[in-house]
Amino acid sequence: MSEPRIDDTNERRVRARDEQPVQYPENRMLAIIETRDQLRAVIEALTSGGFLTSEIEILHGAAAAKSLQEETGRTGITHLAMRLAEAIGITNDELSLKSHYADALADGRFLISVLAPSEERQRAAAQLLRAHGGEDVHFFSRYTITSPQRAD
């Protein structure tokens, strides 16, 4: 997976997780972005809205999809519990969303992850992601996954 370009004119880039192991996205807002143009627009909106480029991660492509499917993103006993649940066919929100996000990546869409540790940052990230075409927007806290309320 190559690092996606955000702005072709000045070579500005957002950090991509192409060689890092998959990790549970704690305190992050995730969304699926359909096109590269939408990705550019949402990154511009996020950075203009006060998010740092270092707080934004992008996954894209078949390699990212495969990595997401193969890894639990967890460590220790939680990793083992997740693997056991997958092996015996038990599903939960985390496994379902992980599979859904991996399918989106395999279909050529983008997965954007924005660090949002406070409620204010969560609201801002969700609003900006949705305003720029973000689908399946979810916040991953340490123990729960939620779909933020729309501010419409």
pLDDT of the residue at 74: 54
Structure token pair of residue 129: 């992601």
Residue 149: pLDDT band (50, 70, 90) is: confident
Kind of pairing, strands 110-115 and 135-140?
unpaired
pLDDT tens string 75-112: 566 556 656 666 677 666 666 788 899 999 999 999 99
Residue 73: pLDDT band (50, 70, 90) is: low
Q: In what order do the strands lie in the sheet with 135-140?
A: 56-60, 110-115, 28-33, 135-140, 145-146
Residue 132: pLDDT band (50, 70, 90) is: very high
Residue 21's identity, in one-letter code, is P
Answer with the residue of higher pLDDT: 130 or 14. Answer: 130
Q: Which helix (H) or strand (E) holds 130?
A: helix 119-131
Structure token pair of residue 142: 């340490």
Question: What is the secondary structure of 9-68 as a DSSP string?
Answer: TTTEE--B-SSSPP---TTEEEEEE--HHHHHHHHHHHHHTT--GGGEEEEESHHHHHHH
Kind of pairing, strands 5-7 and 12-13?
antiparallel
pLDDT of the residue at 86: 65
- Conformation bin of residue 23: beta by default, left when phi > 0, alpha when psi is -120 to 50: beta
